Structure 1
Amino acid sequence: MWSTFDLIKAYLPGCTASSLYELKLGDEKFGRENHIYSAAYREDEFDEISNLAGHIIFNSIAQWQQFGEIAQAAGVSCGLRVNPGISEVETDLYNPCFSGSRLGVLPEHLKSAELSGIEGLHVHALCENMADSSVALIDAFEEKFAAYIPGLKWVNFGGGHLMTHADYDVDKLIDRIKLFKARWSKQVYLEPGGAIGWRTGPLIASVLDIVPTDELPVAILDISATAHMPDVLEMPYRPAITGSGKADEKPHTYRLGGTSCLAGDVIGDYSFDEELEVGSRLVFEDMIHYTMVKTTMFNGVRHPDIGIWHTDDTFELVRSFSYEDFRNRLS
């Protein structure tokens, strides 16, 4: 949500992108240090990437060999993503180190590689993890890649450090990074994207209809799991709704569904203190992650407006979506 970048710039010195388009957005709207990592780069985009990025991180030795000279000629600091082989994330969809992962170079594949010109190593193995996992990541990196650290200028410990969570022990992370820097004298980067957006972005939905079935009554909402919150189906996970409970925990239980034609466009079963009716509003909490950036216009389902609720209790409408947005994505 680049409309909040002026606020975020007070806390972060730059951005890390995963594609040319994200890199261009960071350059245009954030305007500070600009890094990029991608599982693979396209030849027809790489010159533009090299002109925009300060750091380029390669996912494989082959990609480094293919593009490294171009990046270095542009004055870019080049790095490799490595895989520490730890599993601190329970769900494989979000676990960069699950068995057979395509993300990062394994220690055994690094031994025979020509690394002249590589200035940094990037290790990303977390997703919304607490401080013990952050420390475990740094420990594993030192254990498996210590031989390469003296020749580096920087190390990037990636994202997934949920340092804004109330229970995250920030001092533990700080102490571990200080120890690393004292031992190796290297620049250390973190990419706390999830921590920046933690507990933000409520999605407000309204009930359009309540359909009786042979099981639970289904409340049809003006949002869609498949179009607006695909991780509900992909992970899957259960989003929190303010004032709700699990099925049968409160007096009135409903299955919540979306408006698309997909039979499985179902968010889950929730219970409420009061009966739902057409027009009832539900507040889905902490929805900024992987919602706006992963939405689709499947079935032409209308997208929610995007706005900012300011600390002075005023609302700023940032973006409304129209039929033209749907039409122009099609051919």
Structure 2
Amino acid sequence: MAPLKSLEKEYPLIDSNFLSFCASHAILSVEDFLLHDLDTLIAFADNHSTSHRLKQGIDQLLSIIDALNPPLLNGLQLLEDAQRNKHVVSTGCEGIDTLLGGGLREGQLTELVGPSSSGKTQACLLSASTVAKHKSSVMYLDTGNSFSPQRIACFVGQSSGHVFDNQADHMLKKVLDRIICYSVFDIYQMFDVLHQLKINLRSEIVRSNQHVRLLIVDSISSLITPILGGSGPQGHALMISAGFLLKKLAHEHNIAVMVTNHVVSGEDGISKPALGESWKSVPHVRLFLSRDCGTNVYNISILKHPSMVCHLITKLLHRASGRAASYSMYS
């Protein structure tokens, strides 16, 4: 196995500080790292003054190992993995569920792309309330103060300003209790939350015997865009590490992951997903959302789906000719 120091020049997070930290725990090579207890190493990193960067280095090293040593699976094993406990999770929106063949798939990362007011946060809140109503937990990472308990209340059949019976009030409290919301304002905070979730899931620590079925990051682009400035490779490395960690959580623990991404102007003024070509390969599924001006009618098309190639082409052609799939979503 290669010595860790050989990775220093190519990977910015594997710097002298990270190497010194690893050396203090007798980790001098990739093999040493693989043999070391990861949870223990993360716990030591938490007590370090540069804990954020050390944990990012751990994530990057895991990503490097995963890329260099992909699992050897034949076609039958891949099919069995796709079918094993990979259920669909309803978003609560009939149009999206129909388009995706039932909803979000556990073990996959689904990205909602669209301009402001296109319904991305609305879809996140609706999905969270739907999953929570079915007695499962939701991890909701809110990056822009957009999480709204009032809108959750609307989705579970209530609205503000009215008197409710005890049963309806009890239901709302149960739903909100199952949605674990974190305010996350930079990518380092997100790594902290995801690391803790990973530790909890590995230790089978689950609140009130609830199974975490959905992880939402609204929005992932607002955390990543600030670190992509300039020409240095560090921002890109952090972006790839974030994507790797989200997909790893989804795959290993059968969690449906949903993230949102804004759009930027591309060639000829045509909107395209932000975060660039490198991020494009991260999500398993990409959906493009838009909203008809002055209405509550939303349009959605599939930009990417691993098992809907023909459907993808049809939807894109329909969208290009002004006949994108439409759905209405309570607003």
TM (normalized to structure 2)? Answer: 0.27
- Greater RCO (Cα-Cα under 8 Å, separation 6 or more): 2
Q: Which has the larger radius of gyration?
A: 1
Q: Report which of the two has the higher share of helix.
A: 2
Give the TM-score taking structure 1 as reference length.
0.27
